[in-house]
Amino acid sequence: MKFDIIIIGGGMVGATLACALTLSKKSWRVALVDAAEEKKEDARLIALNEGSCCFLKNLGIWPLLIPYAAPIQQIHVSHRGHFGIARITAHELGLTTLGHVIPASSINAALFTTLKNSKNITLIRPATLNTIMQNPDTVAISIDTAQGKQEHTADILIGADGHRSTVRELIEMPTHTIDYQQSALVTVTELARPHHYIAYERFQEKGAIAMLPLIGMHAATIWTAPRDYITDLMQLNNEEFLHQLQQQFGYRLGRMQKTGKRTVYPLQMQQAHQQKKQNVLLIGNAARTLHPIAAQGLNLALYEVATLLDYFSTQTSLKRCLENLPVHSLQHKFSQSLSHSLTELFSKKVFPLNIARPMGLVGFDQCIPLKRKFTHYAMGKSGHTPSLFLNKTE
């Protein structure tokens, strides 16, 4: 079958792109190919900046997310054992919120509810991608489905199939990888008192603990540390783990009551040498994987999706249009640099850095113009701002 655009990968990035393409007046024929029949369990807890939230509102899926979306009114950054804190509040920047924290499973469900009701998207799942054949003007794929082998062609193929991208492998696109030798432990912590919608990032001697507001008296807990340390934490029973979490994080959220199921994710930064090859484009984790310390990964991917929609909407034809597609924008450079630099900055035990870090936190906390500029960048509003990242009043 012939399509205009084929998307490989039905995770949050691929599904969001498919939803965004339905908003165009171009009436593209779009296929979304996904390996899973239904979305598998996803324990991640996603911090979306306000730009990404505007994007999801403009897509029309926000009403499905409201019951699960906890606003972030303040960001509080500290370094255990060192003086100095840095805070960013929505109020001081003239914003309603700095973003929201939403379970990944809720985002996935909302996206696929929207896609099921769309007449412009052909969902093909479960399906396994076998081959990609690139021609000057089109790309052809073969996939295995429950109904047998299928072959399809499109003007553009977009790989949104994650950090182990089959698309990237089949087009023989090499990657550069930095292995941080760390893992992220993710769980939900029940609190004894309200979190007041404050998102905490507390750096440790080994890694960091993020405690992000969730609906009710709960916080999303993301603990990043060396793999051996996380492995030891996973061996603890619930009471022992809660004690360690309380001891390492402190009592800014009061006494913690209990934690839920713990899930571990390995951490690395991975960058494809190129984001595009002829009529194939990589986006999201297929193109780059970032350390979660600054919560830039999905936010950058959504910025990328919104920018891509703006670009496609200006094209008279999709054939060979990727040749002129700009990549590695200022937003990409900011997000990648922030994620990597924070990981390096708070992990090194060098005397000058030991002095500079707390001073930097204090200085940042006192400088509202710097906070405003930083937040502007972090929300995807540096340089070109995609139309779907704007509030309707902007």
Domain ranges of the chain: 2-176+267-389
**The amino acid at 129:** L
Give the residue-averaged pLDDT of 14-18: 95
Q: Which residues contact 125 (CB under 8 A, 6 or more apart)?
A: 10, 32, 33, 34, 35, 36, 37
209-267, pLDDT tens digit by residue?
A: 999 999 999 999 999 999 999 999 999 999 999 999 999 999 999 999 999 999 999 88
Give me the CATH topology for the region 2-176+267-389: FAD/NAD(P)-binding domain (3.50.50)
Q: Which residues contact 170 (CB under 8 A, 6 or more apart)?
A: 129, 131, 132
What pLDDT does 324 receive?
83
For residue 115, pLDDT over 60 is answered with yes
CB-CB neighbours of 310 under 10 Å: 16
Q: How confident is the model at residue 279 (pLDDT cuts 50, 70, 90)?
A: very high
What pLDDT does 349 receive?
47
Contact call for residues 154 and 4 (beta carbons, < 8 A) = yes
Contact call for residues 8 and 160 (beta carbons, < 8 A) = yes
What pLDDT does 299 receive?
85
Q: Output the average pLDDT for the chain.
A: 84
Q: Which residues contact 371 (CB under 8 A, 6 or more apart)?
A: 88, 92, 93, 364
pTM of the model: 0.86
Q: Which has the closest alpha carbon to 212: 186, 234, 239?
A: 186
Q: How confident is the model at residue 359 (pLDDT cuts 50, 70, 90)?
A: very low
Q: Is 259 helix (H, G, I), strand (E, B) or coil?
A: strand
> Helix H segments across 37-179?
50-59, 62-65, 104-116, 166-170
Contact call for residues 76 and 199 (beta carbons, < 8 A) = yes
Output 364 or 315, whichever has higher pLDDT.
315
**What's the rounded Cα separation, in Å, for the pair 89 and 96?**
10
**The amino acid at 91:** H
For residue 363, pLDDT over 60 is answered with no
Q: How confident is the model at residue 345 (pLDDT cuts 50, 70, 90)?
A: very low
Output 254 or 95, whichever has higher pLDDT.
254
